[in-house]
Structure 1
């Protein structure tokens, strides 16, 4: 029989023990009817229902009846714009929205904050600034750009404090975050390998995009929204990915492609993966839900890069996902002021989608509609992310020894994405008005409930930096 669940004193430190009971728990072996035992911040055991009763008190129990209990989600792709552009978002509101959607860890991208995280000083300042501001745990990306690539010593120092490196193969839209030329990308590949870090790429071929943007602006044979779609074709994505894969194969770099929008490109990456290239691929919920017709109708609200694709591309991505070719899902939460969307020209509008709060509501809802097993969906935001970025000893699974980061999903309740319920700073999103066939009931970070669907997000900001 398990020992009594009480608060005990060990070496003058109070230890709190907690049980999560009656839920259907997602584990490495699949969904199981087990009780999760937590001591302080850590999962210590999973007890089978038939193992016998546990001695318990009401204060030590969370009843998860009717819920799936899954690992807290890890979103490796957010732009929370902190410091420097907190009127766009900020980690306080961004992490609040993430917690409401079941995300317990985020990796903050090195651009859209100001200044960009492309120097050791900027990284140090950002880390210090973010202390005690986040509701959830976080890690920081470092930026490898055309301006800092030759600062080899500084990049090596930065690598000790970043989760991974991020680079662009096309214009980023941020003045102090320059894209890498094809020659510079070779240097970046070697540097990332030397640092033992993953290099993530925004992969669109700049020369092709620049030419097509200029052409479509000067020859408005299409309306502006159609012209924008035409300016960033799948071929530009395919060309950039092909070139990067060749370099990764040559240099042995660990490569990660972000926000891939086409099944053709996913299959190209899968072929390279099978040939031995150390590569993974992320896509985003908006490429799995919305299509170019939605963009043509809604405009800047759904502007992103790469842009939304035709419906057959969306369906093809789902086929790739079902076949196990997609490794991770990231929200690519890229917020801004509403005035930056409400521009006269689509070319001038900010490109980015606010969605961190709805990533997993949308993914679960869509998977249920399509009959895709949830056991295939959940690893894309949990264990796969943790494994790829080296935090698997703390995050990503419900397993003894790991942080007690948990999400309680109820499949018998719905969630309506109403403006009044948005957790991020600026209350607009393409998800507004959607009804999801599931609800996040609770989110737990390291053994504490940080979000409850009745009480909201707690005031306590207990998020810590992981790197």
Structure 2
């Protein structure tokens, strides 16, 4: 007699590797052990039957999260950030190397980050390293310690302790990383273009938008692509907001350049035209652009030029958003949205004829592939039993007071969204949903897996 499974999920609708189907998903020892027909006879200690309006999704993977812990824990922290992730159907996050103190730019700082996170994480957490002015000799050590790749800026990062790379330094860093095929992820805005743009100031969003022109993105992306072409390095363009760059990226990829690209829910949801004066909760860099630009980003997703959609959750305290004066020039730039990515993207995707299978590809499978997380991002035998029970036709109005990230600030406040995450499961154990108060953190700290 075969040993019973730990739990079996029975779903009239589930998103598998080949699209939407129905089926039973059996879990043993935290892994998916079988995917069978809906009516398959599977003996299990526990059976979860999804309601008729629910769809079983793989847990989402968010590779762009600023947890800011340690050092700026008044902005965010591992407990609050990973609770928010779990509530949003996200089962794996990768933490960015800056805004924490110390930044993750050497092995000692990485260990500080891991010690801080240990015993606090409600989802699985991995770490990016940083490539900054002066730390070229630290990159191999960070790589060997298991970071998932390296983030760099080409202009001031917003914090002095994470300085940018100049063109010569970017070339040297890419040559170093190419030696062991490590991934460089790039905040691609050109410092010279920004320096020659109008200065950001005042309450009018249009003035801020002019201070971060799309040309600054386009020039920087072209520079990164040409270096990657010359060196043979792997590069990833972060938080694409300029649709102008899409043909350049498509052309480079057709030539064999190893370049991938992400965008974020806020670029797919909001438009510059609708942002009120003084609404600094919308400020981020690169900025939210015009309605036509948004539609071209959606087309880039449909065409497969944009690989994935991740949050760029970059919160701060309410005071740093300067709601007292509403000045876009001095407010901190960053959108807080970690818990809302799935419903935000689904709300817009369904209006444009996209399916849940598309959303899962953008928000689970492709981010997992980007990071080399071979056991994440899909419902298949051998994968971690990371699952999300999602009601796509349910709806809610966002109330920041009910979100789990540390500070009650988000541009989504008051916005109606389609799709409700009802349960989230990590390696076969429920970590969020249905009113369950999960107090015992069950996440693990991840290291990069060798290919």
SS in 2 for 1:371: coil
Q: Is the CA contact (8 Å cut-off) linking 2:205 and 2:278 kept in structure 1?
A: no
1:63 to 33, 49, 58: 49
**Pairing 1:128–2:115 present:** yes
Counterpart mapping for 1:299-448 below 5 A: 299-342=279-322, 344=325, 345-392=327-374, 394-448=375-429
Q: Is the CA contact (8 Å cut-off) linking 1:285 and 1:359 kept in structure 2?
A: yes
* TM-score in terms of structure 1 length: 0.91
SS in 2 for 1:366: helix
Tell me whether 410-419 or 168-177 shows the greater mean CA deviation.
410-419
Q: Deviations over 1:353-379 (max 9, x none)?
A: 000000011111211122112222211
2:254 to 266, 274, 281: 274
1:118 to 83, 105, 108: 105
The RMSD of aligned alpha carbons is: 1.7
Cα distance in structure 1, aligned partners of 2:268 and 2:419: 18
Q: Is the CA contact (8 Å cut-off) linking 1:266 and 1:281 kept in structure 2?
A: no
Cα distance in structure 2, aligned partners of 1:303 and 1:412: 30
Cα distance in structure 2, aligned partners of 1:165 and 1:45: 36
Counterpart mapping for 1:249-288 below 5 A: 249-288=229-268
Q: Is the CA contact (8 Å cut-off) linking 2:11 and 2:56 kept in structure 1?
A: no
Q: Is the CA contact (8 Å cut-off) linking 1:107 and 1:141 kept in structure 2?
A: yes
Q: Which runs of 5+ in 2 are unaligned?
A: none
In structure 1, the residue matched to 2:446 is: 466
**Pairing 1:189–2:178 present:** no
Q: Which runs of 5+ in 1 are unaligned?
A: 6-15
In structure 1, the residue matched to 2:227 is: 247
Q: Is the CA contact (8 Å cut-off) linking 1:3 and 1:54 kept in structure 2?
A: no
Cα distance in structure 1, aligned partners of 2:12 and 2:260: 32
* TM-score in terms of structure 2 length: 0.95
Distance apart, 1:224 and its partner CA: 5.0
In structure 2, the residue matched to 1:30 is: 19
Cα distance in structure 2, aligned partners of 1:168 and 1:308: 19
Cα distance in structure 2, aligned partners of 1:386 and 1:78: 14
Distance apart, 1:53 and its partner CA: 2.7
SS in 1 for 2:338: coil
Cα distance in structure 2, aligned partners of 1:299 and 1:412: 30
Structure 1 223/302 Cα, relative in aligned 2: closer, same or farther at 3 Å? closer
Q: Deviations over 1:182-239 (max 9, x none)?
A: 1111011112212321100000000110222xx436xx8x965332211110111000
Cα distance in structure 2, aligned partners of 1:425 and 1:49: 40
In structure 2, the residue matched to 1:10 is: none
Structure 1 55/159 Cα, relative in aligned 2: closer, same or farther at 3 Å? closer
Q: Deviations over 1:290-346 (max 9, x none)?
A: 111233445311000011111100011111111221101110000000000125332
Q: Which has the larger radius of gyration?
A: 1
SS in 1 for 2:116: helix
SS in 2 for 1:414: strand
SS in 1 for 2:196: helix
In structure 2, the residue matched to 1:13 is: none
In structure 2, the residue matched to 1:173 is: 158
Structure 1 46/374 Cα, relative in aligned 2: closer, same or farther at 3 Å? same
In structure 1, the residue matched to 2:431 is: 450
Distance apart, 1:240 and its partner CA: 0.3
